[in-house]
């Protein structure tokens, strides 16, 4: 059994080298790049990865196109801010030789603001299944927080060991992602027939903060837990405000041409 790894990337020069280095044990590495301009593709190619250019039209479509380039029996999905560990590698290589299961989730351990996060809904946390047999899984077309579609009649397995994730390299990236993801999330709210407003944004954003900081014990993560909760507030709040902006189609007030007065 052989394994392909695919990595989605856009301007990830600071992260792509360590990400690829953590999966050099794989039989094939595909970097699905969306026209990076910071040297990401050059770094990836220098490490032996195959770079394919895929224009961004949402994360679901990007992932589906990325797996179409994978040619091996198994596929491992790992993002630029994630790192495979030796124990995960060993577990995967042992597992794919014997398992009858087609799709696996992998727990992730997050490092943020100089510490491993133990609460805040971040440990252990999962995204879509990250290890699957070729042809047994695909993604829906959601632009962000995309779901997965199983093409297997078997239950989904879970690996025992953790991938590492470094979701934000600094505070600027926290703000950038809150802005980017809130924009992409507008269409998901539209599809659900939801109307946006500042009040709805505040209510949903506040609940998101309380959920992560109180109910998911983010306060035990200290300052990092507060930043995580506040980032969730911001992303949720601006998603609803941006939705109301789209629905209202606000325009600036009409201004008149003011000519010079002849005296």
Q: What is the pLDDT of residues 28-73, one digit of tens each?
A: 999 999 999 999 999 999 999 999 999 999 899 999 999 999 999 9
Average pLDDT, the chain: 94
- pLDDT on residue 144: 83
Other C-beta atoms closer than 10 Å to the C-beta of 127 total 16
**Two tokens, residue 89:** 């590698």
DSSP state of 219: G
CA 214/CA 245 separation, integer angstroms: 31
CB 101, CB 154: distance < 8 Å: yes
Q: What is the pLDDT of residues 118-160, one digit of tens each?
A: 999 999 899 999 999 999 999 998 888 899 999 999 999 999 9
CA 54/CA 68 separation, integer angstroms: 11
Other C-beta atoms closer than 10 Å to the C-beta of 43 total 21
Mean pLDDT of 107-121: 95
Assess whether pLDDT exceeds 80 at residue 190.
yes
What does residue 44 show for φ and ψ, rounded to 5 degrees?
-60, -45
Residue ranges of alpha helices (H) inside 112-221 are 171-191, 198-210
- pLDDT on residue 230: 95
Q: Are strands 50-53 and 28-33 parallel, antiparallel or unpaired?
A: parallel
Q: Are strands 137-139 and 74-77 parallel, antiparallel or unpaired?
A: unpaired
**Two tokens, residue 50:** 């195959």
CA 105/CA 94 separation, integer angstroms: 16
Full set of structural domains in the chain with CATH: 3-165 (3.90.550.10), 171-248 (no CATH)
Confidence grade of residue 13 (pLDDT, cut at 50, 70, 90): very high
What does residue 72 show for φ and ψ, rounded to 5 degrees?
-95, 180
pTM of the model as a whole: 0.86
Mean pLDDT of 179-197: 91
Contacts for 146 with CB less than 8 Å, ≥ 6 apart: 58, 59, 60, 63, 128, 139, 140
- pLDDT on residue 187: 87
- pLDDT on residue 116: 95
Helix (H, G, I), strand (E, B), or coil: what is residue 121?
coil
Determine what percent of the chain is predicted with pLDDT higher than 90.
86
DSSP state of 211: I
CA 14/CA 1 separation, integer angstroms: 32
CA distances (Å), 223 to each of 50, 60, 112, 161, in order? 40, 33, 10, 27
Judged on CB neighbours under 10 Å (0-12, 13-18, 19+), 83 is buried
Q: How far apart are the first and last CA of the chain?
A: 89
Q: Which residues pair with 115 in a beta bridge?
A: 112
Assess whether pLDDT exceeds 80 at residue 263.
no
Confidence grade of residue 250 (pLDDT, cut at 50, 70, 90): confident
- Pick from 181, 178, 195: which is nearest to 246 by CA? 195
Residue ranges of alpha helices (H) inside 219-262 are 222-248
């Amino acid at each position: 059994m052989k394994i392909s790894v695919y990595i989605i990337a856009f301007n990830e020069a600071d992260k792509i080298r360590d990400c690829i280095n953590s999966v050099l044990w794989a039989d094939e590495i595909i970097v699905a790049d969306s026209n990076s301009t910071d040297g990401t593709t050059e770094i990836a190619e220098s490490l032996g990865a195959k770079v394919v250019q895929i224009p961004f039209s949402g994360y679901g479509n990007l992932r589906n196109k990325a797996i179409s380039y994978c040619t091996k029996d198994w596929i491992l999905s790992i993002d630029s801010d994630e790192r495979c560990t030796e124990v995960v590698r060993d577990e995967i290589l042992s597992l794919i030789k014997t398992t009858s299961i087609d799709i696996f989730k992998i727990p992730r351990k997050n490092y943020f603001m100089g510490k491993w996060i133990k609460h805040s809904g971040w440990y252990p946390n999962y995204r879509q299944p990250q290890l699957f047999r070729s042809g047994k899984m695909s993604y829906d077309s959601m632009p962000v927080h995309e779901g997965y579609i199983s093409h297997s009649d078997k239950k989904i397995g879970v690996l025992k060991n953790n991938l590492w994730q470094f979701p934000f390299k600094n505070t600027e990236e926290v703000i950038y992602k809150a802005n980017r993801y809130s924009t992409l999330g507008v269409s998901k709210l539209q599809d659900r027939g939801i109307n946006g407003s500042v009040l709805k944004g505040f209510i949903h954003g506040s609940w998101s903060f309380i959920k992560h900081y109180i109910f998911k014990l983010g306060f035990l993560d200290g300052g990092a837990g507060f930043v995580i909760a506040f980032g969730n507030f911001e992303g949720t709040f601006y998603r609803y405000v941006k939705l109301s902006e789209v629905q209202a189609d606000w325009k600036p007030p009409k201004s008149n041409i003011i000519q010079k007065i002849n005296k």
